[in-house]
């Protein structure tokens, strides 16, 4: 079942041990993340005011969050004015109940779905199937994941861990498709054939929402295949579910996010389709519209001054693609529908720092800071990671790692202590280094090396090298020359470009 929920069944370290042994997945992921990463840099460099846009994105979101209650009420009123209905759900179970009973009220056995992480978060598919209603995923990748009874491994390209031969076998088995080759074109055609009939005959659709605009009651879905347009246009009834943090105050604010989102996520100037609708419109599209506003832990995240910034997230997945830990461990290791750096901070917070598996996620990071640099709404992920680590270890009785962290914090807070400690460690590490790495640390520090190898300390520290380094040669153009010349942007759409 693709609807995986957010509660990890294992610690990150245990789950990562398993995923690390899946070489195919690692290869696919590495290809995907590096491809998207490179293209993204080009797409971003095209907008001269990118940094200003990021600042605006963060500011609009902070403002919306600061007045969240007001904007949600405005949104509700506007949707109702436009002929839609609004429902509030405290948690996943309540949201499932609302959506399930609307669908049941229309007597349907099947609903069609647009890819939506929020519906995965609330495990909607499972909830519907308890009522005998089958939810059909219409996004190609989600369909693959669903047919394989698998879990998505990436926010944007959920089936990136599967290759074409696997997909062909799956379509043959599950859709009875007559497939001669495993050409992506043929596979996509098979999905088109199967889904076209569903789009034209299914009465109820469920979607997520990328944004919702308080002043006009407008909901937006961003996609590329046209399945989103099909779902929000063709059925008689449309139910959209969104986290309460998705609200934007005004229509004008959309401009900021439609610049930030596609370039950050698929490295495109724009994704192929955006659909906007406000309530219902006579003679065009569904004549019944429901908007479900979901809390499910978000108000607790909002209450936390440091953690609050997490709610700015627009789910672009840029932080996943730059994360060295995600690239190797893969999405499944995070055990939740929210993988990667954003998952490492969002999942434990949504679960109120109570889940013992989710509480290992803030350690799923090297703290390299790449996620912060990539984030279009400037979420300081490393800051939140460290903050959560502190909160989690504070609550636990002092174990080896907690002591190590406190000691490390004390040592690192003063440069002379740090340098002294490094010198001491360098002379002490001799017997521990085997094949260029330290595999186990003695005593209290063993908890650290249980799950990772430690590189041995360098013979010379950076600080020592810096003090003794020769004066740098003076070259005026170094670095700048590349920037000012700029790179000619090739066509955005070549066959090997990033996903859409």
Partner 1 sequence: MNGGAKLDILTRINRTHARQQEPFARVPVRPSARPHAEVVEQFAEFAAEYRANVVRVDAGRLPEAIRAALLVHGNERAVVPHDLPEEWLPAGLAVTRDITGVTDLTPFQAVITGAAVAIAESGTVVLDHGPGQGRRALTLVPDHHLCVVREMQVVDSLPEAVARLRESVLAGQPLTWISGPSATSDIELSRVEGVHGPRVLDILLVQEDTHATS
CA distance 204 to 383: 42
Q: Which of residues 130-149 bind partner 1 (CB under 8 A)?
A: 138-141, 144
CB under 5 to 8 A by kind: which of ligand SF4, partner 1, none does 195 bind?
partner 1
Q: Site mask, partner 1, residues 147-176, x = CB under 8 A? A: ----------xxxx--xx--x---------
15 binds ligand SF4 (CB under 6 A): no
Helix%, strand%, coil% for the chain, nearest 5: 55, 10, 35
Q: Site mask, partner 1, residues 65-94, x = CB under 8 A? A: xxxxx--xx--------x----xxxx---x
185 binds partner 1 (CB under 8 A): yes
Distance of CA 105 to the CA centre of its chain: 33
Quick check: 364 and 324 in contact, CB under 8 A?
no
Smaller CB distance to partner 1: residue 255 or 409? Answer: 255
Q: What are phi and psi of 148, to 5 degrees?
A: -85, 0
CA distance 16 to 358: 13
Q: How many CB atoms lie within 10 A of CB 427?
A: 8
- E strands, 185-269, in order: 204-207, 211-213, 218-223, 237-243, 247-248
CB under 5 to 8 A by kind: which of ligand SF4, partner 1, none does 379 bind?
ligand SF4
Scanning 52-60, 403-411, 415-423, 472-480 for contacts with partner 1 by CB under 8 A, the matching segment is 52-60
Q: In this chain, which of 237, 375, 388, 500 binds ligand SF4, going by CB under 6 A? A: 375
CB under 5 to 8 A by kind: which of ligand SF4, partner 1, none does 315 bind?
ligand SF4
Q: What are phi and psi of 243, to 5 degrees?
A: -65, 145
Residue 125, both tokens? 């598919």
Scanning 38-46, 95-103, 298-306, 368-376 for contacts with ligand SF4 by CB under 6 A, the matching segment is 368-376
Find the DSSP H helices in 340-380: 340-350, 370-374
Torsion of CA 323, 329, 333, 336, to 10 degrees: 20
Smaller CB distance to ligand SF4: residue 214 or 314? Answer: 314
Q: What is the three-class DSSP state of 426?
A: helix
CB under 5 to 8 A by kind: which of partner 1, ligand SF4, none does 106 bind?
none
CB under 5 to 8 A by kind: which of partner 1, ligand SF4, none does 56 bind?
partner 1
Q: In this chain, which of 195, 230, 314, 438 binds ligand SF4, going by CB under 6 A? A: 314
CB under 5 to 8 A by kind: which of ligand SF4, partner 1, none does 28 bind?
partner 1
Smaller CB distance to ligand SF4: residue 220 or 377? Answer: 377
Q: How many CB atoms lie within 10 A of CB 5?
A: 18
Q: In this chain, which of 64, 157, 319, 350 binds ligand SF4, going by CB under 6 A? A: 319
Q: In this chain, which of 316, 351, 361, 384 binds ligand SF4, going by CB under 6 A? A: 316
Smaller CB distance to partner 1: residue 275 or 347? Answer: 275
Q: Site mask, partner 1, residues 269-308, x = CB under 8 A? A: xxxxxxxxxxx-x-xxx-------x-x---xx-xx----x
User: In whole angstroms, how large is the CA radius of gyration of the chain?
Assistant: 24
Residue 149, both tokens? 């009874």
CA distance 472 to 414: 28
Smaller CB distance to ligand SF4: residue 264 or 271? Answer: 264
**HSE, side-chain direction, 13 A CA sphere, residue 324:** 6
48 binds partner 1 (CB under 8 A): no
Smaller CB distance to partner 1: residue 8 or 297? Answer: 297
Q: Which of residues 234-253 bind partner 1 (CB under 8 A)?
A: 234, 244, 251-253
Spell out the residues 6+ positions from residue 234 whose beta carbon is closer than 8 angstroms to its own: 199, 200, 202, 205
CA distance 424 to 434: 19
In the block, residue with structure tokens 């047919």: 147
Minimum gap (Å) between residue 207 Cβ and ligand SF4: 19
Q: In this chain, which of 212, 337, 374, 388 binds ligand SF4, going by CB under 6 A? A: 374
CA distance 216 to 239: 18
Quick check: 287 and 203 in contact, CB under 8 A?
no
CB under 5 to 8 A by kind: which of partner 1, ligand SF4, none does 140 bind?
partner 1
379 binds ligand SF4 (CB under 6 A): yes
DSSP class of residue 173 equals H
Smaller CB distance to ligand SF4: residue 235 or 262? Answer: 262
Q: Which of residues 320-349 bind ligand SF4 (CB under 6 A)?
A: 342
CA distance 200 to 233: 10
CA distance 49 to 55: 10
Residues making contact with ligand SF4 (CB under 6 A): 264, 313-319, 342, 374-377, 379
């Amino acid at each position: 079942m693709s609807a995986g929920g957010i509660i990890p069944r294992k610690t990150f370290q245990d789950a990562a041990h398993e995923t690390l042994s899946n070489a195919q997945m690692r290869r696919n992921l590495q290809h995907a993340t590096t491809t998207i990463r490179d293209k993204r840099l080009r797409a971003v460099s095209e907008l001269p005011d990118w940094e200003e846009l990021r600042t605006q994105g963060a500011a609009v979101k902070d403002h919306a969050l600061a007045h969240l209650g007001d904007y949600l009420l405005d949104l509700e009123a506007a949707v109702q004015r436009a002929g839609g209905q609004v429902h509030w759900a405290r948690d996943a179970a309540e949201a499932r109940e609302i959506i399930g009973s609307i669908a049941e009220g229309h007597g349907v056995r099947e609903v069609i779905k647009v890819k939506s992480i929020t519906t995965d978060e609330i495990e909607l598919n499972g909830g519907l199937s308890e009522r005998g209603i089958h939810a059909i995923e219409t996004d190609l990748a989600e369909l693959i994941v669903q047919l394989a009874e698998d879990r998505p491994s990436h926010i944007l390209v959920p089936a990136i861990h599967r290759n074409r031969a696997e997909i062909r076998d799956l379509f043959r088995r599950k859709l009875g498709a007559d497939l001669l080759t495993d050409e992506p074109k043929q596979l996509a055609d098979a999905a088109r054939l199967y889904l076209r009939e569903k789009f034209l005959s299914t009465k109820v659709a469920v979607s997520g929402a990328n944004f919702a605009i308080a002043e006009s009651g407008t909901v937006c879905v961003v996609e590329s295949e046209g399945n989103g347009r099909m779902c929000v246009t063709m059925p008689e009834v449309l139910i959209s579910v969104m986290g309460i943090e998705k609200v934007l105050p005004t229509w004008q604010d959309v401009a900021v996010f439609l610049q930030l989102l596609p370039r950050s996520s698929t490295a495109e100037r724009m994704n192929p389709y955006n659909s906007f609708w406000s309530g219902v419109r006579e003679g065009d599209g569904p004549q019944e519209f429901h908007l479900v506003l979901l809390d499910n832990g978000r108000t607790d995240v909002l209450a936390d001054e440091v953690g609050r910034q997490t709610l700015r997230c627009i789910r672009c997945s840029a932080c996943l693609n730059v994360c060295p830990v995600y690239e190797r461990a893969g999405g499944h290791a995070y055990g939740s529908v929210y993988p990667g750096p954003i998952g490492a901070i969002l999942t434990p917070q949504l679960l109120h720092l109570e889940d013992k598996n989710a509480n290992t996620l803030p350690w799923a990071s090297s703290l390299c800071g790449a996620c912060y640099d990539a984030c279009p709404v400037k979420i300081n992920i490393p800051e939140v990671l460290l903050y959560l680590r502190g909160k989690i270890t504070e609550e636990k009785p002092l174990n080896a790692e907690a002591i190590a962290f406190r000691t490390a914090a004390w040592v690192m807070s003063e440069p002379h202590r740090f340098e002294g400690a490094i010198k001491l460690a360098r002379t002490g590490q001799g017997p521990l280094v085997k094949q260029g790495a330290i595999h186990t640390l003695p005593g209290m520090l063993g908890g650290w090396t249980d799950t990772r190898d430690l590189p041995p300390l360098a013979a010379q520290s950076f600080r020592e090298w810096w003090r003794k380094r020769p004066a740098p040669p003076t070259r005026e153009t170094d670095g700048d020359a590349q920037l000012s010349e700029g790179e000619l942007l090739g066509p955005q759409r070549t066959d090997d470009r990033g996903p859409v």
